[in-house]
Chain A
């Protein structure tokens, strides 16, 4: 058994050493965000600045509309989460609990659309939203979520399938209609899954870059992520400002992850096991 303890010790040391490059960039990001410009280039560097220069943050708020970016990102993340939860649970319920013509064909179609990369529809979608007059608005970035995300429909369906059909039959005998079966039985039984779907959607929306980059042109309309890309072009060389912006961009997702890591990790694990 001593040999096995030695292996555990070696494993611990390897994981510990590996953890350093994982976390150090974030420490460096936050540390730079509190330095004066001249201090950012000093070597050897102070990992913990002697004085915290909070002004970087207040100056950043004056330099770019970062408050708007924040509110836009929160709005989009919340709306997408709501949209995906509502649409994917409705559609998944239809596929699991009800029988209708062409159901198998439509479900196959759903699986096929999961394989179509966003790039294939990116340009025509842009033209469509341009036709709607939605360029430089937030609409193209949240309205589609209310019309179902194929992947999340599939994800919710996998869970709905585990709900026994005897519930449905019993409810029908009691005179419940499909709508009641949906929101009185299926929804309460799948709260944890729907929370996971919402959290994953929130994080994905928060981190999303290509869509906001294409659709949002004026600085005040941008999200924190597309704004950060804009900022790094504007504040060229002012790494304290760019790192302050980066810190603000990563903080909410990290906090959310720390609060809800069990739910998020179980969602990711389920994704891996779906195949």
Chain B
């Protein structure tokens, strides 16, 4: 390592260093000050100690947002299982490239546009889904977005629809890396399709299953676009998600301190989930 090389090294990474200081470390330090301050963006900053954190934990909106978000996250295992099935089935059929394209469409289009069309499809009484239920099955369609008990399951359904294509592409890549001779050996040993799937495919792509689950859970805790579009004054405030609550506190009510506290609580939750999943990885994932 010579001096000149060292200098060039810093020159090449300097964009990132500057960005790190200005857009990440600086804001993080400032954010820690904000957590303990009361501020509305305009007036003077006032130190309030742990008041913001107390008021978040005492807010019923926080607990319902946490509950809604955690409940919403349960779409992940469903999506992972369906995506895995789709990937395995696609692996053995003709025309899979066309199907892969169709399944992937909702993953590439903006979530806001996806939300818009689903709101239209599930519109009470005159939306096409409710119309079909009424005319063909004589069922009164439920309030997909307006019924508080059905709201989160509806978001889960839309998210499953939107994530199968993306996840199954990751699984397809995982499947491709499995040595074909293992399957031939299993076939010769008389293993049927079901037991081959559970005893060979699943263990061998467990690293991919794990990766997909971890990233999906992290994303699902940050759900915003879909929640904002479907719950913007339409349903009750008790249906908000965590990031939506940060947005409301910070950018609609300008309770900057409370919003910062909530942002750090969310970050803490995400770190805890990541730690937990890394622990689980050691037990569940099979590495060749």
**Which residues on the A side are within 8 Å of B128 (C-beta)?**
28, 43, 45
Answer whether residue B148 sits at the interface, using C-beta atoms and an 8 A cutoff: no
User: Quick check: is A141 within 8 A (CB to CB) of the other chain?
Assistant: no
Q: Is the CB of A275 within 8 A of B19?
A: no
* Chain B nearest CB, measured from A100 CB (Å): 3
Within 8 A of B (CB), among A51-69: none
Question: What is the CA–CA distance of A203 and B267 in the complex, to the nearest angstrom?
Answer: 26
Q: Which residues of A contact B34 (CB under 8 A)?
A: 123-124
What residue in chain B is nearest A95 (Cβ atoms)? Answer: B13
Whether the pair A272, B229 counts as a contact (CB closer than 8 A) is no
Q: In terms of DSSP, what is the predominant structure of the interface of chain A?
A: helix
CA distance A11 to B96 in the complex (A): 11
Q: Is the interface of B mostly helix, strand, loop or mixed?
A: helix
- State A125–B24 Cα separation when bound (angstroms): 8
Least CB distance from B86 to A in Å reads 7
* Residues of chain B contacted by A206 (CB below 8 angstroms): 110
Specify which of B110, B165, B270 is in contact with A250 (CB 8 Å cutoff): B110
Contact flag A29-B193 (CB < 8 Å), given A147-B15, A153-B16, A249-B110 = no
**Interface digits, B38-76 against A, CB 8 Å rule (1 contact, 0 not)?**
000100000000000000000000000000000000000
Q: Does B237 contact A (CB under 8 A)?
A: no
Using Cβ atoms and an 8 Å threshold, which residues of chain A touch B272? none
Q: Which residues on A sit within 8 Å (CB–CB) of B6? A: 98-101
| B26 x A128 contact (CB < 8 A) | yes
Residues on A with C-beta less than 8 A from B126 are 41
Whether the pair A87, B108 counts as a contact (CB closer than 8 A) is no
> Are the CB atoms of B13 and A23 closer together than 8 Å?
no
Q: Which of B8, B24, B135 contacts A44 (CB 8 A)?
A: B135
Please give, as numbers and ranges, the residues of chain B lying within 8 Å of A16 by CB-CB distance. 99
B211 interface residue per 8 A CB criterion = yes
Per the bound structure, the CA–CA distance linking A226 and B246 in Å amounts to: 18
| A124:B26 contact, CB within 8 angstroms | yes
Structural contact, B110 and A272, CB atoms closer than 8 A: no
Q: Is the CB of B109 within 8 A of A207?
A: yes
- Residue of B105, B208, B229, B264 with most chain A CB atoms under a 10 A cut-off: B105
> Are B105 and A23 neighbours in the complex by a CB distance under 8 Å?
yes
Q: Is B154 an interface position by the 8 A CB rule?
A: no
Q: Which of A72-88 contact B (CB under 8 A)?
A: 86-87
Chain A residues near B260 (CB, 8 Å)? 123-124
A residues near B165, Cβ cutoff 8 Å: 22
Task: Assess whether A228 is in contact with B225, with CB atoms less than 8 Å apart.
Answer: no
Contact B170 A269 (CB under 8 A): yes
Which A residues are in CB contact (< 8 Å) with B267? 116-117, 119-120
Q: Judge if B251 is at the interface, Cβ distance under 8 Å.
A: yes
Q: B188 at the A/B interface (Cβ < 8 Å)?
A: no
Residue of B nearest to A45 (CB): B128
How far is the CB of A33 from the nearest CB of chain B, in Å? 10
Give complex CA distance A220, B153 in Å: 35
Q: Which of B26, B113, B243 has the most CB of A within 10 A?
A: B113
Given the known A-B contacts A232-B116, A268-B169, are A22 and B102 also in contact in the complex, defined by CB atoms under 8 Å?
yes
Residue pairs across A and B with Cβ atoms less than 8 A apart, 11 shown, are A22-B103, A29-B116, A32-B120, A101-B6, A117-B270, A209-B224, A213-B247, A228-B112, A233-B232, A246-B116, A268-B169
Having A45-B128, A103-B9, one finds 13 other A-B pairs with CB under 8 Å, namely A29-B113, A94-B8, A99-B9, A115-B271, A119-B266, A121-B31, A147-B16, A209-B111, A232-B119, A265-B100, A265-B104, A268-B169, A272-B169
Residues on B lying within 8 angstroms of A by beta carbon are 1, 5-13, 15-20, 22-24, 26-28, 30-31, 34, 41, 86, 89-90, 92-96, 99-106, 108-114, 116-121, 123, 126, 128, 131-132, 135, 161, 164-166, 169-170, 172-174, 193, 207-208, 211-212, 218, 222, 224-225, 228-229, 232, 243, 246-247, 250-251, 256, 259-260, 263-264, 266-267, 270-271, 274
